[in-house]
């Protein structure tokens, strides 16, 4: 663990397995951990750590919890649904910070997340990336499972990473699906799983026998990688298989693998390759 600070590490936890993986890694490295679960997003499993629960909008409670637990370092991790703004009750701390919080809602994802990081930093907190705390959660270089991509797969991967880079420069998305060098789908706000589901639907009528194509995933150039690394997991592999793809390529060191063992096992079981590639610096 690169980053040491005083007090426990606060993990602000959205959904999925990653918040606990981060907590486990930090504790294994000898650091005290305090989890702050977002109600409706984080799983109850966070309760096996010292924890608190927050609702969307309870910004004042968030800062009082961090204060009370003497946390100066924090990791923000896990999936979040876009909350229904009409149902959020703002607490006093939220209302005090309203102008900056409102700015979070405008512009692309990346703009929002950079603003979020600055929001915490301006208050004296240090925002760590998942990779700072648990580098072992990041995708490594080369083949991660047992299957090797073909020449045709490598050509599709190259096209897909080019598309993701171009989209990322516009703060659009982190993933694309390419089949025989043709871009089948591009991810914007819908998320990778939804994109893969539509590929599955789109391809179901066409050519089941002749499966091919890849999913590529990489952060946007200049993206705030501390709070929004692209993530894959066993479900991504499952959905890629259902979409008739032959494998998944991710940017080495810049994509999180939620539940690595299960993810690689799923890829091997379903016959998909899983590979990390180092992208050129401008990608």
Name which of 11 and 176 has its Cβ closer to its own copies: 176
**Over 45-106, what HEC string results?**
HHHHCCEEEECCCCHHHHHHHHHHCCCCEEEEECECCCCCHHHCCCCHHHHHCHHHHHHHCC
- Cβ of residue 283: shortest distance to its own copies, in angstroms? 13
Cβ-based nearer residue to its own copies, 90 or 166: 166
Enumerate binding residues for its own copies (CB under 8 A). 82, 84-86, 105-109, 162-163, 166-167, 169-173, 176-177, 180-190, 194, 198, 202, 205-207, 209
Q: Smallest distance from the beta carbon of 228 to its own copies, in angstroms?
A: 14
d(CA 32, CA 242): 41
Closest to 69 measured CA to CA, from 11, 4, 129? 11
Sign of the torsion formed by the C-alpha atoms of 160, 283, 79 and 16:
positive
Nearer to its own copies, 26 or 218 (CB): 218
Query: In the structure encoding, which two tokens stand for residue 260, read together?
Result: 């690595």
**Min CB(59)–its own copies separation in Å:** 20
Rank residues 199 and 250 by Cβ distance to its own copies and give the closer one.
199
For the chain, the straight-line distance linking the first and the last C-alpha, in angstroms and rounded, comes to: 27
CA dihedral in degrees (113, 9, 144, 210; nearest 10)?
A: -40
Beta-ladder partners of 204: none
Q: Please say which residue, 20 or 160, places its beta carbon nearer to its own copies.
A: 160
**Consecutive H or E run containing 44:** none
- Rank residues 63 and 202 by Cβ distance to its own copies and give the closer one: 202
In the numeric block, which tokens belong to residue 170? 């516009």
**Least distance (Å) between residue 203 CB and its own copies:** 9
């Amino acid at each position: 663990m690169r980053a040491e600070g005083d007090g426990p590490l606060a993990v602000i936890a959205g959904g999925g397995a990653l918040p606990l993986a981060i907590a486990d890694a930090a504790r294994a490295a000898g650091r005290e951990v305090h989890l702050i679960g977002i109600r409706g997003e984080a799983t109850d499993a966070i309760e096996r750590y010292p924890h608190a629960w927050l609702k969307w909008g309870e910004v004042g409670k968030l800062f009082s919890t961090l204060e009370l637990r003497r946390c100066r370092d924090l990791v923000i991790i896990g999936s979040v649904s876009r909350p229904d703004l009409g149902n959020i009750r703002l607490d006093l701390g939220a209302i005090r910070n309203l102008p900056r919080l409102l700015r979070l809602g405008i512009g692309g994802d990346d703009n929002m997340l950079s603003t979020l990081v600055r929001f915490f930093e301006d208050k004296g907190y240090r925002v760590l990336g998942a990779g700072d705390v648990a580098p072992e959660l990041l995708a490594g270089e080369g083949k991660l499972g047992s299957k090797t991509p073909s020449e045709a797969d490598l050509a599709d991967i190259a096209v897909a990473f080019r598309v993701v880079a171009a989209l990322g420069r516009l703060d659009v998305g982190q993933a694309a699906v390419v089949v025989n060098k043709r871009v089948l789908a591009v991810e914007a706000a819908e998320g990778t799983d939804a994109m893969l589901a539509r590929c599955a639907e789109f391809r179901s009528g066409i050519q089941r026998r002749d499966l091919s194509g890849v999913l590529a995933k990489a952060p946007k150039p200049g993206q705030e990688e501390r709070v929004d690394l692209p993530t894959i997991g066993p479900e991504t592999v499952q959905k890629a298989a259902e979409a008739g793809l032959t494998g998944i390529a991710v940017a080495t060191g810049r994509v999180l693998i939620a539940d690595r063992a299960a993810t690689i096992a799923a890829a091997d079981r379903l016959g998909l390759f899983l590979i990390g590639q180092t992208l050129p610096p401008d990608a």
